Amino acid sequence: MLEKDLQSIVDRKFRKTVEVCSNEEIYLALLELTKERIKATGNNEGKKKLYYISAEFLIGKLLSNNLINLGIYDEVQMILEKNHKSLSEIEDVELEPSLGNGGLGRLAACFLDSIATLGLNGDGVGLNYHYGLFKQIFESNTQVETKNPWITKEGWLEKSDISFEVPFKDFTLKSVLYDIDVTGYESNSNKLRLFDIDTLDETMVKDGITFDKEDVIHNLTLFLYPDDSDKAGHLLRIYQQYFMVSNAAQLIIKETLEKGHDLRKLYEYVVVQINDTHPTMVIPELIRLLLAQGIAMDEAIEIVTKTCAYTNHTILAEALEKWPMEYLEKVVPQLLPIIIELDKRVRDKYDNEKVYIIDKDQRVHMAHIDIHYGFSVNGVAALHTDILKNTEIKHFYEIYPEKFNNKTNGITFRRWLIHCNPLLSRFVTELIDEDYKRDANKLEDLFKYIDDDIVLQRLLEIKHKNKVTLKNYLKETQNVDIDENSIFDIQVKRLHEYKRQQMNALYVIHKYLDIKKGNIPTTPITMIFGAKAAPAYIIAKDIIHLILCLQELINNDPEVSPYLKIVMVENYNVTKASKLVPACDVSEQISLASKEASGTGNMKFMLNGAVTLGTMDGANVEIHDLVGKDNIYIFGKSSEVVTKLYEDKGYRPTDYYEKDEKIEELVDFIINKKMIKIGDPVKLARLYKELISKDWFMTLLDIKEYIETKDDMFKDYEDRKAWSQKMLTNISKAGFFSSDRTIKQYNEDIWKL
């Protein structure tokens, strides 16, 4: 039946047989076939509906994901093989949607998958960015940003006939709504609803990613997180955020009224999840729309407070947005009276400026709106939630202890095991059957094989095959040769100083100097990085420059390169992650303790049999508790020690640099003659000075213990049986980190759909 349907589409579209079609033609035919099958499954329904609003959704390519969720992946693969076609080559035709950047967007995508899989009535709501964050290319060992187009004439986006007027101070913009179907695993589907404008002018982007930031009517949905290093950039972000939430709020009101519901009981029919602070203005906007419906202010505020819930994703000040009143006045003056009223009510109740919405500098704290005027506030890992309650926003916890709860993040195992690692997935199915695909806790059944030499050997063989696949992929895409018999040590994530890629780079220097002294590692090491730095984040771009310079130095040194290779993956994204994750031996999760809210890369690597090297931060704490101290490598100062150092201003990097010859040697190498010859002296000197004079995320505090722990880990890798037992333990204990579990908890405790 499936083969007949595919041939019928191919015949109608191209007047050909499947066998003679190009990969591009087969992709378009599969796209149509998949969309038809999704429509046939129907949508999830229920009395109450979730609107999950997020600035980003890093959904990745959708073809294979949808085929798996529809239960037809294997059959499609067989049909194609019969016709001498490769599904993986056809997947390469698909462009990855440029709708997200890092963990925030990937989490939102995993959540949508689980919401649909669990049969819950919930849609994602965001913006339809045409060029995404940016496409990263490396030139002269430096990150260069260019646009990242992904929208094609035929794709997953379906234009709807829904449109709203969004009022700004000086003009009104008309929106257009595009939908992407979100399939559940052997379940019904929901939608990702993306708002756009018809007036967008893609041609206004000139060199790289520069464009006129003030021409909002033509630029609004060009880029995710446009450069906000100037006032025009700040204003554009506010325009984007209000456009997103005004459309979301109008959609909520429209759909609620169409169902014949009473807006005065909105919270009985609707729940809004605010993913980080970007969608915060949905709170005053919903109040504004309810006022326009004739509902009084007191009641409107009560209704919205019972409808909205907030997820905090960070304790970094930069991500807890604060917008100057002056900027809001320029963009959305209609919201200011409401925000002022919300702040007045807080001031009337509480005599503590730390909980006010508008501070003494006339800035509006978006997270404060979320906490006061939402019914739930959740962190995303146990440690993160404790830090929020005890330090960062403890004043709010003292007022609203009942609002605070933890929902440890999770990942969808459909994409991050079944799709990205079919060898391991099939082996797991052989051992414990298929139930783990619906109930990830069933992976625990693997633990009974912990002393089974045949199973452990198979695990090592699967890892080796995945390493060969990655080796071939990197040769083809980046023209770099790596040794599949080496240890694959991988750190891939957004580039930020708190994630401490700079510390990993100092380890590279340590290992390089060690090999130069004749200390040859027993097993060669391949260290793989992948990260984008925000265009205006100078030090982050300098860290990328350092890594790329080390890559050039080491990979071209015949004394060192047989034993140590460095690879910086260009334009890291979901597609590249799916190649890297199955091949990883050592998973680098080395953020400064207390700074990473959760992390989800740590979960993906763990699920695929990598062993974590990390600090006691974010979800690493829960991984440690699950696998036990012998199956994870922990180093570094605790979050309590780090927090006290910040409070007491007790950390001075110069103390470590000047008093420790080893640290001095590593840091000085950044501006060594060999490095200056390869790199940009200004960039390298700037990073060098940053490390010895500021080092805000305490690289030098933890570097020596990091080096010792990592060297110990590489030694332990030599005992292949013991290492394979660590792999099996990690896989078997990963079930807790399924996003299905996370979403069940959100629904039981917050949404109640």
CB contact set of 682 (below 8 Å; sequence gap of 6+): none
Same fold across 36-409 and 482-719: yes
* Catalytic choice (106, 414, 493, 637): 493
Q: How many C-beta atoms lie closer than 10 Å to residue 650's C-beta?
A: 10
Radius of gyration (Cα) for the chain, nearest Å? Answer: 26
Among 365, 604, 683, 726, the active-site one is 604
Tens digit of each residue's pLDDT (9 = 90 or more) over 405-425? 999 999 999 999 999 999 999
- CA proximity to 410, closest of 97, 121, 744: 744
Distance in angstroms (rounded) separating the CA atoms of residues 281 and 243: 10
Q: pLDDT per residue over 55-64, tens digit each?
A: 999 999 999 9
Residue 540 burial (C-beta neighbours within 10 Å; 0-12, 13-18, 19+): buried
CA 425 to CA 734: how far, in whole Å? 13
Is residue 87 within 8 A of residue 80, CB to CB? The reply is yes
Q: Is residue 365 annotated as part of the catalytic site, yes or no?
A: no
Q: Strand 363-365 and strand 322-324: pairing?
A: antiparallel
Task: Supply the angle between the helices 453-478 and 720-732 in degrees, to the nearest 10.
Answer: 90
Closest CA to 118 of 42, 37, 189: 189
Q: What kind of fold does domain 482-719 have according to CATH?
A: Rossmann fold (3.40.50)
Assess whether pLDDT exceeds 80 at residue 319: no
What are 648-701's pLDDT values in tens digits? 999 999 999 999 999 999 999 999 999 999 999 999 999 999 999 999 999 999
- Local confidence band at 392 (pLDDT 50, 70, 90 cut-offs): confident
Question: Could you report the per-residue pLDDT of 245-259, keeping only the tens digit for each?
Answer: 999 999 999 999 999
Range 106-126 burial, b when 16+ CB lie within 10 A, else e: bbbbbbbbbbbbbebbbbbbb
Give bridge partners of residue 275 from the DSSP assignment: 311
Tokens of 7: 């041939």
**E strands present in 261-375:** 270-275, 308-311, 322-324, 363-365
* The predicted structure's pLDDT at residue 391: 84
> Mean pLDDT throughout 20-30?
97
Contact between 143 and 533 under an 8 Å Cβ cutoff? The reply is yes
pLDDT bin (cut points 50, 70, 90) of residue 315 is confident
State what percent of residues in the chain have pLDDT above 90.
98
Residue 50 DSSP symbol: E
**Please, which pLDDT band fits residue 1 given cuts at 50, 70 and 90?**
confident
The residue annotated as part of the active site, out of 313, 365, 467, 511, is: 313
Q: Which of 37, 213, 463, 499 is catalytic?
A: 499
Q: Cβ of 565: how many Cβ atoms within 10 Å? A: 21
Q: Clarify whether 152 is annotated catalytic.
A: no
Q: Please give the distance of CA 350 from its chain centroid, rounded to a whole number.
A: 36
Q: How many whole angstroms separate alpha carbon 574 and alpha carbon 65?
A: 12
Alpha carbons 256 and 250: distance in angstroms, whole number: 10
**In contact, 87 and 64? CB cutoff 8 Å:** yes
pLDDT at 318 over 70: no
In three-state form (DSSP H/G/I as H, E/B as E, the rest C), the secondary structure along 75-135 is: HHHHHHHHCCCCHHHHHCCCCCCCCCCCHHHHHHHHHHHHHHHCCCCEEEEEECCCCCCCE
Domain boundaries, the chain: 36-409, 482-719
Reference 592, options 486, 700, 494; nearest CA is 700
Q: What pLDDT is stored for residue 63 in this prediction?
A: 98
> CA torsion 588→591→594→599, rounded to 10°?
-50
**Residue 501, both tokens:** 């890629």
Q: Which of 494, 545, 637, 733 is catalytic?
A: 494
Answer whether 593's CB lies under 8 Å from 391's CB.
Answer: no
Burial class (CB in 10 A: 0-12, 13-18, 19+), 716: middle
Contact 611, 586 (CB under 8 A): yes
Cα(141)–Cα(545) distance, rounded to whole angstroms? 6
Residue 613 in tokens: 């090297």
On whether the CB atoms of residues 709 and 515 are closer than 8 A, the answer is: no
Q: How much of the chain exceeds pLDDT 70, in percent?
A: 100
Nearest CA to 502 out of 728, 355, 703, 751 is that of 703
Instruction: Report pLDDT digits (tens) over 204-244.
Output: 998 899 999 999 999 999 999 999 999 999 999 999 999 99
Asked if residue 317 has pLDDT above 70, the reply is no
Output phi, psi for 634, to 5 deg.
-110, 140
* 492-542 tens-digit pLDDT: 999 999 999 999 999 999 999 999 999 999 999 999 999 999 999 999 999
**Is the Cα dihedral 513, 519, 524, 525 positive or negative?**
negative
| Nearest in space to 136 (alpha carbons), one of 208, 221, 62 | 208
pLDDT for the residue numbered 642: 97
Contact in structure between 224 and 101 (CB atoms under 8 Å)? yes
pLDDT score recorded for residue 207: 84
- In angstroms, the CA 201 to CA 682 distance is 37
499 is catalytic: yes
Q: Alpha-carbon distance 355 to 495, whole Å?
A: 31
Mean of the per-residue pLDDT values of the chain = 97
- Which residues make beta-bridge pairs with 364? 323, 358
**424 conformational bin, left if phi > 0, alpha if psi -120 to 50, beta if neither:** alpha
CB atoms under 10 Å from CB of 300, counted, come to 23
What pLDDT does residue 729 have? 99
Residue 307's pLDDT is 99
Across 338-364, b (16+ Cβ under 10 Å) vs e yields bbeebbebbeeebeeeebbbbeeeebb
**Rounded to the nearest 5°, which phi and psi values hold at 226?**
-60, 150
Q: How far is Cα 86 from Cα 68, in angstroms, rounded to an integer?
A: 16
Indicate whether 320 pLDDT > 80: yes
Tell me whether residue 733 is one of the annotated catalytic residues.
no
Angle CA(431)–CA(435)–CA(439) in degrees, nearest 5? 125
Q: What is the mean pLDDT of residues 421-441?
A: 97
Q: Give yes or no: 494 in active site.
A: yes
User: What is the SS3 assignment for 630?
Assistant: helix
Predicted confidence at residue 314, as pLDDT, reads 85
Length of the chain: 753
Q: For tokens 């200004």, what's the residue?
A: 682
Residues 607-655 pLDDT 10s: 999 999 999 999 999 999 999 999 999 999 999 999 999 999 999 999 9
Threshold 0.95, pTM exceeds = yes
DSSP 679: S
Count of other CB atoms within 10 angstroms of residue 20: 11
- How far, in Å, are 273, 333, 656 from residue 306 at the CA level? 12, 25, 51
Count CB atoms within 10 A of the CB of residue 638: 14
Please report where in the chains the tokens 């079919």 appear, as a residue. Answer: 422
The CATH number of the domain covering residues in 36-409: 3.40.50.2000
- pLDDT, tens digit, 9 for 90 and up, residues 128-175: 999 999 999 999 999 999 999 999 999 999 999 999 999 999 999 999
How far from each other are the two terminal CA atoms of the chain, in whole angstroms? 36
Instruction: Kindly report the number of other CB atoms within 10 A of residue 477's CB atom.
Output: 13
**CA 141 to chain CA centroid, nearest Å:** 25
**Is residue 384 among the annotated active site residues?**
no
User: In this predicted structure, what is the pLDDT of residue 289?
Assistant: 99
pLDDT at res. 459:
99
Q: Which of 349, 322, 325 is nearest to 337 (CA)?
A: 325
* CA–CA distance, 410 with 294 (Å, rounded to integer): 41
Residue of 34, 221, 600, 729 marked active site: 600
Q: Is 667 helix (H, G, I), strand (E, B) or coil?
A: helix
**Burial letters for 182-210: b for 16+ Cβ neighbours within 10 Å, e otherwise?**
bbbbebbbbbbbbbbbeebeeeebeeebe
Write down the residue that tokens 């499936």 correspond to: 2
Residue 335, sorted as left (phi over 0), alpha (psi -120 to 50) or beta, turns out to be alpha
